Amino acid sequence: MVPVIPPILTGCPLPYTTMYDCKRLMNSKQHITVLFIDGYHQDRRSWAEGFQTSSPKSIVLEADSGAAGLAVCQSRPVDCVVVELSLPDMSGFQVLVNLVPSGHKPTVAVILFTRLPLLQMAELAKTIGAQAFLLKSDTSSDQLQMAVRNSIAKLTASAPQPPSRGALWPLVQ
């Protein structure tokens, strides 16, 4: 059986998602650029290295503060920003608001990826423009990969995708 990841964790834009769909999506774009913004050095290194290992064609960048991350986004194209909610210089929400200004269509996928168990913030993050809100303690490397790929696809998708064969999980919104 194909493992199924609930869309609530992935921010999946597709009507259905399976691990097979994710692998296919991962191979659809050779090079993506992902920026990890996290003041916790060990967390940032661990997740960034894990992402790079499982997606060697990706460009993985790191920043240790919100200001440094925003500077990276201004200096080069980034497909997805994975940002910790608690940063040394600002909130991850401040980074989100800077990257997805109110009233504008997002040009970069943003995922809030935190160690803080503040699930009530997930809806606020979605309202502001985040494609996903994930807890580090509840997220595997595969789930993070899927969330990044699906978040990028959500921004670039122009038409709904048909459901795939195999195990299906309907998207609940």
Q: Are the C-beta atoms of residues 135 and 106 closer than 8 Å to each other?
A: no
Interstrand relation of 109-114 and 33-37 (parallel, antiparallel or unpaired): unpaired
Instruction: Provide the token pair at 166.
Output: 């195999």
Is 36 a domain residue?
yes
Cα 159 to Cα 74: distance, rounded to the nearest angstrom: 29
Taking the whole predicted model, whether its pTM rises above 0.85 is answered as: no
Q: How many domains does the chain have?
A: 1
Is 127 a domain residue?
yes
User: What is the pLDDT at residue 46?
Assistant: 95
- pLDDT tens by residue, 9-45: 334 333 334 444 444 444 454 589 999 999 999 999 9
Structural domain range at position 134: 32-155
Residues of the chain short of pLDDT 50, as ranges, are 1-27, 29, 158-173
Cα 114 to Cα 128: distance, rounded to the nearest angstrom: 16
Is 166 a domain residue?
no
Is 24 a domain residue?
no
